[in-house]
Structures are given as C-alpha cells and as structure tokens.
A and B are shown apart, each in its own frame.
Chain A
Amino acid sequence: MMGRTIFIDPGRCIGCQACVSACRECDSHRGKSMIHLDYPDEGHSVASLPTVCMHCEDPVAPCAEVCPADAILVTADGVVQQADTTRCIGCANCVNACPFGVPKIDLQAKLQMKCNLCYDRTAYGLAPMCATVCPTGALFYGTVEELRAERPGVQVADSFTFGDVVVSTGVAMVVPADKVQWPVPGGLPIVEVNGRTVR
C-alpha cells in the first residue's frame, strides 16, 4: 500500500455519481471519466461500488506486464500511469487482463485510458478529484493514520484474491475488523466439477 493513497469504503457510497462528474474535470483526461460506479445488485439493493485503479503492487501492474508496446509506465511512487499516447496501439490487452476491470479503451483513437490517481494533482500533494468531492467519505485520500484519525479503529485491506492468486494493491479498501486478516475476494467465480475447482 502506498503512503498516501485512496481508501475505498463501499459501505459509505450512496451512488451519487459526484466522483464520476469530478473525474471528468481531471486535466489528464478532460471530459472523460475514468472512475467506475457500479451497482452490484441493481433492482434489489442501492449498494454501489466505486472503482478506481488499484495500482497493483504485487504482481506489479498486470496491465503494464501484458502491454505489447511497453506503453504503461509505473512511476517510482507506485502510480500506474495511463498509456503513453505515443506507444499505445489500442490492442486492449490491459483492459482484459486487469483483474479489477479498470482500464477503458477508445477504439477509434486506439488509446487506453485509466485512472492515474489524478497525477496532475497528487504529484503536488492535492487529493484526487473523486476523493475531493465525495460527500460521504466513501473515497478518502491520505495516509492510513489520517484515515484512522477521522475514523478510529477502522481496518483496511490491500490484498485481493482471484482464484488462488493474491494481488496486493497500492489502493486499499475498508473492511470490517474481523475480515482484515483475509484478502478481499476479487469476485472470480469458483466453478467446481466433481469437487475440483476449474475456474
């Protein structure tokens, strides 16, 4: 987990889309929102899940690893940048390899775009657009100590399971205290055939 990062608490998200609108204002992808806001149980529940780039640390940036054009660079501070416009060929490897479903692609422009933690702001110590406008604190930017100063006793997790693979991330999620020792399930469905996991 990075020092100053985003902490996501889906339990606080009210699905107001303020983060989606604010993200459009980011200078590095003006007019296009990179944050995803999904409703996992639409029609039955008001639960919503904001998704920013998790800035995977181990394995480091699978999107960058599968990129055939070396277009996705990782800065020394652990931020996985969006694709270099000169190099990106629009193959969508990153889009389909990302375990969190983060990168977007413009097929006409042959260009991948993704959340870069508002690098134009965070590089200067400012909070990302989404965390700045979130009215409920579902998206919090700071250190874990700053988070705990506001929310005493809060627990966070920065590892996720996909099948039997654990992915550690730079961005963390808020979890209940009794769940902190286990990685957060990534959602990859487990299919068992005759007692054997096939997916």
Chain B
Amino acid sequence: MTEPPAAKPAVALRATAAGTAVSLLLILAIVFGSRRLKDFDSALLPYACATVFLAFGVAYRYTVWISSPGARRLFRQGWRSLFSAANFRRAPTALPRMAATYLGFQKFLGARSHARWAAHQLIFWGCLLAAAITLPLTWGWFTFTSSTGSGPGYEMRIWGVKILGFDSLNVLGWLMFHGLDIAAVLVIPGASYFLWRRMKDRGAITGQRFAYDLVPLILLIVISVTGLLLTFSSIFLHGGGYEFLAVLHMVSVVLTLIYIPFGKFFHIVQRPAAVGMQLFKYTARQDEQVFHCRRCGQPVDTAPYVENLRGTMRDLDLGFDAWAEYCPRCKRVLRGTAYLAHVKKGYK
C-alpha cells in the first residue's frame, strides 16, 4: 500500500509539541497521582514508560490526522455542534444516545455482520475493563493494601483516598482480584474469531496485511493467554514459571501499547471523533437543512455538510467541487449524456 505522505514541517512541529505536552502532563499525573511516587509500584515501571510513549504517539498522530483538510473541517464542525447551546436545547439526548449506540454498543457493526459485532463487543468490553484496571495500577493511582499484611481484609484507595474495604474471599473480592482474568476470557474468543476469519474469509483476506490486520489480533491473544497463565501459575503451580510468564506478559503489553498509535488500534482514538460528524449532520437534519440534487431533486445530504465538503475539496485543489451538488446517479447519467452528445453520437 502507498503510505500517506510525511507530515509537513509545520504540522510535524505542532504534533511534536502536542505529543511532548501530553506525555509531560501524564508524567506529572503519575507523580502526583501516586502521591509523589509513594504508591508507585516500581515493578510496573516498563508499563508506565510504555504509556508515556503511548501518550506521545497518540497525541502526535492525532495532531497530524486532524491537520488534513477533510478531518480538520469535520472535526471543527463536530466540536461546533457539540458546544452549540441551541443544539443542546433542541436535542439534549442526542449526544449521550449517539455515544452509547455508536461507541458503546456499536450498532453499526451489527449491520455489517452479527458475528463480527458479537466478537468486537467481547474485545471492546474486555479491553476497556483491562485498561480501566491496568492503567491506574501502573500509574500508582490505585492501591490495594491490607492492614494485616496478607488479608483477607483489603482497602482500595484511589490517589491515596480510601474508596472501599472488602474481603478478598467474598464475591466482590474475587471479582476485584480477577478483573483482568475476566477481561482475558472476554478478549480471547473475540480475537480468536477475528483471527479465524482472517484465515478463512476471502473478503477479509483480500488486501490484508500482516502488520496491520494480523499482528493486533495476535498481540491481544498473547496478552490474554499469558495473563491467564499468570493466574494459573499462582493457583495451580505454586508460582512455577511465574517470573518468565510475567516478563512475557509485560513484553506483549508494552509492544501493544507502543503499537497503538501506528496501526489498526488507532481507530480506538479516531472513532470518538466520528460522533462529532454524526452530531453535525443530525443537528442540520433537525433544522431540515437538506440539500437536494441540482438535477433530480433527490436529497444529497445536509446543506451544511455539502458546503463543508465543497470547502474540503477547494482546500485540496479539487476544482470540481460544484459537482458535489449532484447526486452520484445524476453525475453518471450526465456523463453518459455528454458521451452520447459529444463523443460517440452513433452509440444510440
């Protein structure tokens, strides 16, 4: 595949500044969130370093991404729609509804395939649960301490503040200590289904690339399996092989965190911006600002959207932006008519 062109110097500079600022903010959040490193677990240092790199990479790529004309214009319109008081008064539930159906339950994936939707939901909720547990732990924001040294009574603290006390032997305690195992059990079948599909489905195989399509699935499975094996080792093997598994698990997690800004996982960061695009179109539709095809009168899209697209095309020096005012069918029919009239008159 042809790679996107390298970022322009000004954009690269802005992206580097954004990446540096975000990673510095994260370092500060780690230092102060862990009460000046008092609660920081040094055994988790590689994970914390990987998240700092992740913060830099995501901020860098995000800045480059929203600097391209198409993304920049829709990004601005999305935020404008989000912060519009008039839009909020007219449709106060639009944003939470879209966030839930689009980002949470991903209804659009169900329209593509029920099996893919189910598998993606497993991966999504599994990864969300794992991130919600792992990131605050590696940053030293969460601590689990026992006044008796070895339990079973534990206290959970966030930023040093006690949130709850629990018995590690009851159901809540079991859930608290096996949250990552539950996440792994959710992720493994989801990622395995996608991996199987990548081997068998000819549609999926068409144009697939190892680093882009297969590596992320393999990484998810390796993380989940090594994570489960850590629990297996501590329960059934009395810690046998634990250190090796812990290193293997750490390496796979660190590689995944570093991979996020560059590969398929970047869609995790990109997707929420799409809610802004939906909101932009939705609010214009509420106002009945629909743009109709200049030739057949069928709706093309919302009027502000068509104007926004024409602006994007002008930014890109695509000098046929007026063509966006015609529906796709009329463009083809007009081209066919022009061919009949000016190129090959005998074709009737």
Report which A residues bind B (CB closer than 8 A): 10-11, 27-30, 36, 38-41, 45-49, 51, 59, 62, 65-70, 73-76, 81, 85-87, 89-93, 95-104, 106, 108-111, 116, 119-120, 123, 160, 162-165, 167, 173, 175-176, 179, 184-189, 199
Separation of A195 and B1 alpha carbons in the complex (Å): 46
Q: List 29 A-B contacts (CB under 8 A).
A: A30-B203, A40-B339, A40-B340, A47-B347, A48-B336, A49-B339, A68-B68, A68-B70, A70-B65, A74-B1, A75-B2, A75-B207, A91-B74, A92-B305, A96-B328, A97-B318, A101-B335, A106-B112, A109-B111, A110-B111, A119-B206, A119-B207, A120-B203, A120-B206, A160-B335, A185-B335, A185-B342, A187-B332, A189-B334
With known contacts A10-B347, A66-B313, A109–B112 Cβ distance under 8 A: yes
Residues from chain A with a CB closer than 8 A to the CB of B347 are: 10-11, 47
Nearest CB of chain B from residue A90's CB, rounded to whole Å:
7
Residues from chain A with a CB closer than 8 A to the CB of B319 are: 162-165
Nearest CB of chain B from residue A130's CB, rounded to whole Å:
15
Separation of A160 and B318 alpha carbons in the complex (Å): 14
Nearest A residue to B268 by beta-carbon distance? A86
| B343 and A175 form a contact (CB under 8 A) | yes
| B111 and A108 form a contact (CB under 8 A) | yes
Separation of A36 and B327 alpha carbons in the complex (Å): 14
B320 at the interface (CB under 8 A from A): yes
Residues from chain B with a CB closer than 8 A to the CB of A39 are: 333, 336
| A97 and B313 form a contact (CB under 8 A) | yes
| A65 and B70 form a contact (CB under 8 A) | yes
- What string of 1s and 0s marks CB contacts (under 8 Å) between B190-228 and chain A? 000000000000110111000000000000000000000
B337 at the interface (CB under 8 A from A): yes
| B1 and A75 form a contact (CB under 8 A) | yes
**Size range of the chain B interface in the assembly:** 35 or more
Residues from chain B with a CB closer than 8 A to the CB of A179 are: 343-344
Nearest CB of chain A from residue B223's CB, rounded to whole Å:
19
In chain B between 33 and 75, which residues have their CB closer than 8 angstroms to a CB of chain A? 65, 68-71, 73-75
In chain B between 95 and 123, which residues have their CB closer than 8 angstroms to a CB of chain A? 108-109, 111-112
| B1 and A76 form a contact (CB under 8 A) | yes
Separation of A165 and B323 alpha carbons in the complex (Å): 11
B300 at the interface (CB under 8 A from A): yes
Residues from chain B with a CB closer than 8 A to the CB of A106 are: 111-112
| A101 and B2 form a contact (CB under 8 A) | no
B277 at the interface (CB under 8 A from A): yes
Nearest B residue to A76 by beta-carbon distance? B2
Nearest CB of chain B from residue A176's CB, rounded to whole Å:
6
Nearest A residue to B70 by beta-carbon distance? A68
| B328 and A41 form a contact (CB under 8 A) | no
Nearest CB of chain B from residue A147's CB, rounded to whole Å:
16
Separation of A83 and B331 alpha carbons in the complex (Å): 21
Among A30, A73, A123, A173, the residue within 8 A (CB) of B2 is A73
| B323 and A99 form a contact (CB under 8 A) | yes
For the A-B complex with A40-B340, A120-B205, A185-B343 known, give 17 more contacts whose Cβ atoms are closer than 8 Å: A10-B336, A39-B333, A49-B335, A51-B332, A65-B316, A66-B70, A66-B316, A73-B2, A85-B112, A93-B309, A96-B309, A102-B328, A119-B206, A162-B320, A184-B338, A185-B339, A187-B337
Separation of A85 and B334 alpha carbons in the complex (Å): 31
Separation of A165 and B347 alpha carbons in the complex (Å): 26
B155 at the interface (CB under 8 A from A): no
With known contacts A186-B338, A189-B334, A27–B203 Cβ distance under 8 A: yes
Separation of A100 and B319 alpha carbons in the complex (Å): 14
Nearest A residue to B274 by beta-carbon distance? A89
Nearest CB of chain A from residue B301's CB, rounded to whole Å:
6
B312 at the interface (CB under 8 A from A): yes
Separation of A184 and B4 alpha carbons in the complex (Å): 30
Residues from chain B with a CB closer than 8 A to the CB of A48 are: 336
Most central of B277, B309, B332, B335 by chain A CB within 10 Å: B335
With known contacts A93-B70, A187-B337, A27–B206 Cβ distance under 8 A: yes
Nearest CB of chain B from residue A172's CB, rounded to whole Å:
13
With known contacts A38-B329, A68-B68, A70-B65, A47–B340 Cβ distance under 8 A: yes
